[in-house]
């Protein structure tokens, strides 16, 4: 595919399982990317696509008025923005920082204030869709920020996503992402529970899936994860470790809102059990193994062993 005419410059920090393909799509669209990651091999991979390496977040931020971050969790985002040689030390006045990480909404609010004090603007814009949608540029972005600021970065986000929605003020994006992660986790748990029940009862789980997917029980989550469960494909599109992180953040948000989240706690406990077994790097569809281990049955190939 031929590269389009060069567009505005962007600093892109965080080139992991999601960040790398997202950066790649921006480069294909003709954006100039100044890139940084703590892992040299990650930088090298995106450099081969056309990214321009920088020695620090500070240097990357000094090269562009649009700064995108895609990092694991709140501590990493705070370090990249506020730490030594961080974004705020190199950021140009009027710059817009778009944090696409999935973090604690309260931290997003805190960082929004820090960025504003430094003369910039923050949009929290976590994504949903996992690695496959990061690769094909069809992610969903849930955004929090001022409408006029959001509109300035919307075209950048639309290059990486099929859905870009402004939900409310800074912090609203990550609150929406936590709601998303609760729904996804409980969907995966429900699909796991149902298919293991079918298998243990002597009914072909693959046929059960085909029978119910077109009805009210059907969902995007079911269509994405049930085949993975039955084909034993647990290579990560979204790791259990990351979902545990998101559900922990959801629990903290619940505490801040003085609300108990009983179903979230149940899904979180299941995932933590698998983490303790060394399965944290598997795809979250491996949640089915929690039930399989308890019931001594495997839903492989539509048949019980």
Residues acting as catalytic residues: 177
Could you tell me the two tokens for 152? 């300035």
Six token digits for residue 203:
């009914």
66, containing H or E segment: strand 66-69
d(CA 168, CA 148): 12
DSSP bridge partners of 97: 67, 122
Residue 205, Cβ neighbours under 10 Å: how many? Answer: 28
Dist CA 228 CA 238 (whole Å)? 12
H or E element, residue 148? helix 147-160
Angle ∠(10,166,102) on CA atoms, nearest 5: 65
With a CB cutoff of 8 Å and minimum separation 6, the contacts of 234 are 228, 282, 283, 285, 286
How do 127-128 and 96-99 pair as beta strands?
Answer: unpaired
**Residue partners of 257: CB distance under 8 A and separation at least 6:** none
Q: What is the phi-psi region of residue 28: left when phi exceeds 0, alpha when psi lies from -120 to 50, beta otherwise?
A: alpha
The pair of three-digit structure tokens given for residue 197, joined into one six-digit string: 């029940």
């Amino acid at each position: 595919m031929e590269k389009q005419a060069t567009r505005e410059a962007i600093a892109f920090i965080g080139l992991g399982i999601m960040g790398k393909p997202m950066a790649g799509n921006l480069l294909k669209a003709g954006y100039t990317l100044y890139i940084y990651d703590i892992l040299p091999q990650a930088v090298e991979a995106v450099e081969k696509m056309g990214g321009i390496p920088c020695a620090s977040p500070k240097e990357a931020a000094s090269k562009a008025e649009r700064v995108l971050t895609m990092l694991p969790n709140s501590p990493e985002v705070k370090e990249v923005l506020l730490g030594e040689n961080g974004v705020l030390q190199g950021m140009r006045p009027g710059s817009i920082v778009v944090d696409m990480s999935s973090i604690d909404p309260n931290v997003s609010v805190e960082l929004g204030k820090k960025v504003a004090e430094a003369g910039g603007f923050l949009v929290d814009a976590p994504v949903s869709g996992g690695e496959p949608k990061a690769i094909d540029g069809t992610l969903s972005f849930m955004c929090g920020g001022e409408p006029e600021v959001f509109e300035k970065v919307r075209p950048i986000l639309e290059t990486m996503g099929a859905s870009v929605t402004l939900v409310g003020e800074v912090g609203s994006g990550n609150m929406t992402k936590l709601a998303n992660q609760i729904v996804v986790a409980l969907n995966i748990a429900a699909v796991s529970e149902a298919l293991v029940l079918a298998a243990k009862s002597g009914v072909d789980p693959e046929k059960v899936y085909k029978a119910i997917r077109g009805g009210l029980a059907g969902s995007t989550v079911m269509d994405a994860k049930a085949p993975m469960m039955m084909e034993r494909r647990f290579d990560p599109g979204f790791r259990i470790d990351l979902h545990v992180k998101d559900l922990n953040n959801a629990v903290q948000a619940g505490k801040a809102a003085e609300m108990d989240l009983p179903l979230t706690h149940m899904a979180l406990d299941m995932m933590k059990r698998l983490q303790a077994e060394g399965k944290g790097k598997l795809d979250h569809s491996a949640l089915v193994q929690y039930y399989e281990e308890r019931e001594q049955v495997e839903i492989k190939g539509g048949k019980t062993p």
